[in-house]
Structure 1
Amino acid sequence: MEQELEIEFKNILTRQEYEQLYTDFRQDKFTEFSQRNVYFDTPSLDLKNRGCALRIRLKEDDAELTLKTPFEGHHKELNLPLSLDDAHLMTIQGAFQIPEPVIEILEVEEPILNRFVIKLAELHTARLETMRDDTLVVLDKSTYSGQVDYELEVEADSEEAGMKMFKSILEHYDIPKRKTENKISRAFNARKKRY
């Protein structure tokens, strides 16, 4: 199976910034939906140590298992469709064997000794998506471990187009560029602090 290159720019937002963008973006053609991301790793965090992430994403009508691997400052993604029943079962059980297509990608670099993963963290996201100049602009409101955060994401086919749109939005709304951890890191760190 092939991996897709994900060129993405992210920025954490304050609640006020999120609400302003949300109000303005709803003036455009947009899509809104909810999703649940459940993150997995080996007990010794082998995937995290490689800069990778493994998640199951559940939406209302579909689900998928995604492996993200680092690539030239961005990520490559392998997405494997799952039935909703299988996805629910895997997340409820909280553990499973890594599927073979994922193993094949991971073992390009080095063998993976532990093929068993456990649930690390979970978050629920209310997402708004809109297209601007052939660039996907996303607003996320994510809830995990008793906290809420807000995030702007820009996904594009090229780094140049993505950065241009990202900078344009930040400048237009006078939003400072903030260091933004990925969702798995935020959810995992919040869970560690909580327990």
Structure 2
Amino acid sequence: MSQEIEIEFKNLLTEEEFTRLSNRLSFDTVELIEQTNYYFETKNLQLRAQGSALRIRKKDNQWTLTLKQPHSEGLLETHASLTAEEANLWIQNKPVDKPDIVQQLKGLGVKSKDLIYLGSLTTRRKEMEYQGTTVVLDHSLYYGREDYELEIEAASVQQGQQVIKQLLEELNIPKRETDNKIKRFYQAKLQSE
């Protein structure tokens, strides 16, 4: 089973703040990665009610199914590789069972046959190592919206908090309560209906 604990800190940015941060950390020399997340949920939002989310991510022609669940130090992520054909079946609401994901879903009281495809979110991402963390700048597009985000991925809560605080203070960027991408996606989807 492929699992990991994700410890990350996020802050939404204006386009101008995004550009300033990109210039400050010399992100212009970093490769741009484009990835698309395809989100799934039950009709009665069982995953969301438990603070969980299920997505397929296409990145570098690789397809990965990921279940995110709350964990005391961040998020527990369970991953399973998919072929392009399997991913397309999922998007057509014909989920292909992956044992590790099925097991975790069962613990949440969710059956894969009850999952439906909700839509997608595309992110243009740049990332680099910085002070023992990974600093990520994301420009995301979904439901006719776009947003800019700073994300810090760290090995510990303390380290992540220290780096994001330092960067925000140094560039005079206000700390903003920032929902994760899936929550922002849900809000946009609900407002578009």
Q: Give secondary structure in 1 for the equivalent of 2:159.
A: helix
Normalising by the residue count of structure 1, what TM-score does the alignment of the two structures yield? 0.90
1:172-191 to 2 correspondences below 5 Å: 172-191=170-189
Once the two structures are superposed, what CA deviation does each residue of 1:135-173 show, in whole Å capped at 9, x if it has no partner?
100000000010110000000111111111111111111
Normalising by the residue count of structure 2, what TM-score does the alignment of the two structures yield? 0.91
Letter in 2 for 1:88: N
Specify whether residues 97 and 27 from structure 1 end up closer, same or farther in structure 2 by C-alpha distance, changes over 3 A only: closer
- Aligned sequence identity (%): 39
Specify whether residues 132 and 59 from structure 1 end up closer, same or farther in structure 2 by C-alpha distance, changes over 3 A only: same
Letter in 2 for 1:107: K
Q: Point out where structure 2 has 5 or more consecutive residues left out of the alignment.
A: none
Residue range with higher mean Cα deviation, 73-82 or 125-134: 73-82
Q: Counterpart of 1:100?
A: 99
Once the two structures are superposed, what CA deviation does each residue of 1:67-98 show, in whole Å capped at 9, x if it has no partner?
0000115101011111233223422x145265
1:59-98 to 2 correspondences below 5 Å: 59-72=59-72, 74-91=74-91, 93-96=92-95
CA distance in 2, matches of 1:118, 1:95: 9
Shift of 1:26: 3.1
Q: Counterpart of 1:162?
A: 160
CA distance in 2, matches of 1:147, 1:28: 24
Contact 1:145–1:190, Cα closer than 8 Å, also in 2: yes
Dislocated runs of 4+, deviation >6 Å: none
Contact 1:121–1:188, Cα closer than 8 Å, also in 2: no
Contact 1:141–1:151, Cα closer than 8 Å, also in 2: yes
CA distance in 2, matches of 1:81, 1:189: 28
Root mean square deviation of aligned Cα: 1.9
Specify whether residues 28 and 142 from structure 1 end up closer, same or farther in structure 2 by C-alpha distance, changes over 3 A only: closer
Q: Give secondary structure in 2 for the equivalent of 1:3.
A: strand
